[in-house]
Chains A and B, each alone.
Chain A
Amino acid sequence: MRSKLVVVGLAAYIAASSVLAFFLPRSVLVFLLFQASLLLIYCAPATSTAKSVLSAVVLVIALPVVGWVNGYYLEVAIQIGIFVALAVGLNIVVGFVGLLNLGFVAFYAIGAYLWAIFGSPQANQFLPGDFFPLSSRWFFPFLLLSVAVGALTGALVGLPVLRLRGDYLAIVTLGFAEVVRALVNNLDKPINLTNGPRGIAPIQKPPLFFEPALRAFGLEIDAATLYPLYFYFLVLAFALAVIVVTRRLEGSKIGRAWKAIRDDEIAAAAMGIPVVRMKVFAFAVGASFAAAAGVIFAAKQVFINPESFTFMESIGVLAMVILGGMGSLPGAIFGATVVTILNLQLLKGLSLWLNALRQSGAVLTLPFFGSFPLSDLPVQFEPAKYERMVFGLILIVMMIFRPQGIFAPRRR
C-alpha cells in the first residue's frame, strides 16, 4: 500500500515537473526540479520494477519532449551521458581497483581522434587516394573499433605501468596523458596526422539509418531537429550499456578480485588472484569506455582540437568519481550528473541572473551597511568563471564531512 502511494507520488512529481519544464523552458530552476525526479526515483522505497518503469518514462519520454522545446536541455543531457560513461570507466580503475589514474582523458582523446581523423577529410593528408571522409555508415563500426583500440592502448600502457604503486602510478599516468596531448598537438608535421592545434573539422555524424522508417510513418523531420534527439538516444543507450557491463563485472568474480586487490594486494595474490592480469584488465575496460565516449563526442562536436583533452578534464572526471563515492557505481553516475549540471547550468544560470540584476539597476539595501546599486557589481564577478574554485570548495567540504562520497559503496 505504502509503496503504491510512493509510486503514485513519484509519477505525479514527474508529470508536474515535466509540464512545468515544458511550459517554462527558460527556467533553470524548473529543469533542475525535473532532473531531480531521477534522484528521487533512485532513492524512493519502491520495487525495482516500478523504479525502472518510472526512470524509463523520464528518460525515454519526458526528457526528449522537454528537450524538443528547449534544445539546450538535450545538450546538457548528452553531456551528462558522455561524462557518466567516463566516470563509470574511471571508477573501475580508481574506485574498484584503487589505482590512481590521472591521465584518463588520454583514452578519451584517442577515441575522439580515431573517428575525427577517418570521419573527416583529414586522413587524405597522409593516405593516398581520396577516400575520406568515410561515409557516416562507418560510425558504428568505428564505435566498436574504438572499444578494441581503447582496450588495447589501456593494456599496453597498463602492462609496464602497473608495476608501480600509488603516487608513482599517478605520475606516470599523468605523464602518459600529457604525451598523448603533446603528440596530438604536434603531429601536424612532418606528416599531418592530427592537424595540430587547429583541430579537425568537419567530422561525420552518425548515420540516420532510421530515416526511411520515420518517413514510412509519415514523419518528416529535418536533420537539424533530429540530430540532437538522435544523439540523446545514442548517448542514453551507450551510457546504459556501460552501466550494465560494469554492474555485471562488479558482481562477478572479476569485480570481487578487483576490490580484493584494492584492499590487500598480497592477500589477493595468496587467494589465487592473478593480480597483474586483473589490473591490466581493469585498465583496459576503463580505457575502452573512454575511447568509445570519445568517438561519440567527436561526432557530436563536429570539430575537435587538443584543448578538449587537457589535464583538467582528467581531474574533472576524477572529481566526479570522488564526489559520488569511490567504488560505487551509483556514485559515479550521480557525480557525473551533478558536476555536469553544476558546470553547464547552475553556474552559467547564476551568471546570467547576476547580469540581469546588473542591468536592471536594482539597489540592494542591507541593514547597517547602507545600500549598493547592483550596477556597481564588478564585471569580473561571474560565477561561470569560478567553476574550478567552486569545485575545489565542494571537494574540500566533502573531504571534511563525507570523505567516502555521497553514494558511498553499500553492502548489498
Chain B
Amino acid sequence: MALLELRGVSKRFGGLQALHKVDLTVEEGTIASLIGPNGAGKTTLFHVLTGIYRPDSGDVRFGGRTTVGLKPEEITKLGISRTFQNIRLFSHMTVLDNVLVGMHCRLPSRLGGILLASERHRVQEASAVRRAIELIELTGLSGREYEWAQHLSYGDQRRLEIARALAAEPKLLLLDEPTAGMNLTEARQLMGLFMRLLETHVRAILLIEHNMRVVMGVSHRVHVLDYGEKIAEGVPEEVRRNPRVIEAYLGRSDWAEDVKR
C-alpha cells in the first residue's frame, strides 16, 4: 500500500519552475531515494511535503488523506518528519533538549499540569527523557546528552538531526542528504541504521542523497528529478542503466560517472 502519493505536484518561484507535475509514490516498508543534479527540485519537494511550501497545483496524499494546505506542525503530527540538508539544529540547546523538542507534538502535558507540576506531568516528562536517551543511543550519540548541539562535530550533528526527527514518531521519515560530509565507514553505519529503523521505528523512508553508494545500497526504489521534472523511476539497477538519466547528467561528467559506477 502506498504511504505517500504525489500527483502532478507543481511549484513555481517567479520564473523558475521548481517542480513540474511530479508524480511519486512511496510504498509502506520501503526506502525510496530521490536523486538528481543540484537545483533539480529535491529539497523543494521536501518543503512541499512538510508544509513549508504549498504546491501551486497537484495533490499530496499521506496515508490516504491530503496534506495540501495543512500547517507544518499539523503534518508533523500526522506522521511526517524530516532532517535538513543545511543542518538546522537548535544550536543553543543541549542534545537532549533538541530531541525533546522533536517530541513536542507527542507530549500530552497541558498548561495546568505544567504550572502545578502535577504527578502526571512529571511522569510524562521522565518517560520523554527516557525515550529521548534511547534515540540518542540509537543514533550513536550516547554520553553527549548534555552537550550543546553547536559543539557537536558535523557528522554528529547530522546524527542528532535524525534522532530529533525520530522523536516526532514519524511514519514517514524524510532525510535530506543524511550522509553529506561523512566518510565511507560512517555512511555505511548510517545505512545500517536506516535498514533497522525501517523494521523498528518508521514505516517508510524517503531520502535525498548524492552519495550513489548509499543510494544504490539501501533503496528499494529510486526516483530521478531534473529541472523539476521526474525523468525516471525504478529499482536501482534500472535507473542506473536508464538512458534518460545518463543523458541528464551528460555535460556533468562527474555525475555520469557517479551514476554508472
| Chain A residues close to B by CB (< 8 Å) | 245, 248-249, 251-254, 256-257, 259-260, 262-264, 266-275, 327, 409, 411-412
Contacts and interface: CB of A to CB of B under 8 A. Distances in A.
B89 A271 contact: no
Closest 7 CB pairs of A and B: A272-B76, A272-B105, A267-B88, A263-B90, A269-B72, A252-B114, A260-B101
Contact of A271 (B76, B109, B111): B76
Contacts of A273: 73, 101, 104-105
Given A272-B72, A273-B105, 9 more contacts: A251-B125, A257-B101, A260-B93, A262-B92, A263-B90, A269-B72, A270-B76, A271-B104, A272-B102
29 contacts: A245-B115, A248-B115, A252-B109, A252-B114, A252-B121, A254-B111, A254-B114, A256-B104, A260-B101, A260-B104, A262-B92, A263-B93, A264-B89, A264-B91, A266-B88, A267-B84, A267-B88, A268-B101, A270-B88, A271-B102, A271-B105, A271-B164, A271-B165, A271-B168, A272-B102, A273-B104, A273-B105, A274-B71, A411-B147
Contacts of B92: 259, 262-263, 327, 409
A259 B117 CA distance: 20
A89 to B, nearest CB: 15
Interface in B22-64: 50, 52
B77 interface: yes
Interface string B210-249: 0000000000000000000000000000000000000000
A270 B90 CA distance: 12
A272 B90 contact: no
Majority DSSP secondary structure for residues of A touching B: helix
A362 to B, nearest CB: 52
B84 A411 contact: no
Contacts of B13: none
B100 A248 contact: no
Give the one of B77, B92, B114 with max A CB within 10 A.
Answer: B92
A259 B93 contact: yes
Contacts of A256: 93, 97, 100-101, 104
Given A245-B115, A252-B125, A253-B107, A260 B90 contact: yes
Interface residues of B, number: 39
Contacts of B94: 411-412
Contacts of A269: 52, 71-73
A270 B81 contact: yes
A266 B52 contact: yes
Interface in B108-145: 109, 111, 114-115, 117, 121, 125
B88 A264 contact: yes
B82 interface: yes
B148 interface: yes
Contact of B101 (A248, A271, A275): A271
Contacts of B165: 271
A262 B97 CA distance: 14
Contacts of B164: 271
Contacts of B93: 256, 259-260, 263
A179 to B, nearest CB: 30
Given A248-B117, A269-B72, A269-B73, A257 B91 contact: no
Contacts of B104: 253, 256-257, 260, 271-273
A115 B219 CA distance: 67
Contacts of B148: 411
A254 B103 CA distance: 12
A248 B122 CA distance: 11
Given A253-B109, A272-B77, A412-B146, A259 B50 contact: no
B147 A270 contact: no
Interface hub of A264, A266, A271, A411 (most chain B Cβ within 10 A): A271
Contacts of A262: 92
A189 to B, nearest CB: 42
Contacts of A254: 111, 114
Contact of A253 (B81, B82, B88, B100): B100
Residue of A251, A254, A275, A411 most packed against chain B (CB within 10 A): A411
A282 to B, nearest CB: 13
Contacts of B105: 271-273
A272 B121 CA distance: 20
Contact of B72 (A251, A270, A327): A270
Nearest to A408: B92
Contacts of A260: 90, 93, 101, 104
Contact of B73 (A253, A259, A274, A411): A274
Given A252-B121, A264-B88, A264-B90, A271 B81 contact: yes
Contacts of B107: 253
A131 to B, nearest CB: 34
B127 to A, nearest CB: 13
B91 to A, nearest CB: 6
B189 to A, nearest CB: 24
